[in-house]
Amino acid sequence: MRGKHVSTPIEKIIAQAETLAASGAKELLLIAQDLTYYGLDIYKERKLASLLEQLSEVAGIEWIRLHYAYPTAFPMEIIEVMKQKSNICNYLDMPVQHGSTNMLKAMRRGITREKTEKLISVIRNEIPGIAIRTTLIAGYPGETEADHAEQMQFVADMKFDRLGVFAYSHEEHTHAYNFINDVPAEVKQNRVEEIMNLQQGISLAINENKIGKVFKVLIDRKEGNYFIGRTEFDSPEVDNEVLIDATKNYLRRGHFAQIKITKAEAFDLYGEVVK
């Protein structure tokens, strides 16, 4: 995506949400290149909090999920709205891009590792149990072994609930294309695998802590002998799923069920219906 941020007026988004709700939709995903910019172009101020307040009043919508809110100039007022509105998921997709201040400066992100860590700490204190998803880049031009080590430590310290990492791709018409693509492809891939191996252990520990607890789960589909759904802490296609034995239960796609977690893997949960 290139060019300036373009916001859709609140009334149009509300109308779309009402149409979706009337057709049976239960979950809305707000997706933008950067949600925190919402409203600046048409209202001359950040209006994401106002949008969330109005969206939360649309009848029939039980989950509202936020993708993507970058940490630079993060509007804390949206955290206040999330605390007040029960149908706004305790979930935030915040692509921090890198765990090294040196690399964040090269990427022109306008933030440091220390400020990112402080922001995440504040958000977690305000909403205990919030699931934070992030995205990282490995092998950005100029990334040294020291930068990679710092990124690894950042992941270990932050213990993100969900994390994706991509090997840097040298694309034309981007700022980074002016740099020498000096990290070999093999090194990039090795760094991706090291980060994901670290995250796998973190994810497993987080999931194991859910065993025995009951969650509201949205059923997405049936595959083989399992109904497959998600908790409010998981976005479709990219996050964890909950598998429920279909030979013992009947669940309806697009509906919610109360599920007790009985088993955990690094990126999946297993559960049973609470009658």
Q: Are 52 and 88 in contact (CB under 8 A)?
A: yes
Instruction: Name all domains of the chain by residue range, CATH numbers in brackets.
Output: 10-208 (3.80.30.20), 214-273 (2.40.50.140)
- Write down the pLDDT at residue 176: 74
- Write down the pLDDT at residue 107: 96
In tens, the pLDDT along 129-139 reads 999 999 999 99
In tens, the pLDDT along 26-71 reads 999 999 999 999 999 999 999 999 999 999 999 999 999 999 999 9
- Write down the pLDDT at residue 170: 85
- Write down the pLDDT at residue 180: 85
Ordered strands of the 131-138 beta sheet:
27-31, 63-67, 88-93, 131-138, 162-167
- Write down the pLDDT at residue 142: 97
Residues 6+ apart with CB under 8 A from 57: none
- Write down the pLDDT at residue 275: 84
3-class secondary structure, 185: helix
- Write down the pLDDT at residue 246: 97
Which residues does the chain have with pLDDT short of 50? Answer: none
Paired tokens of 88: 């706004």
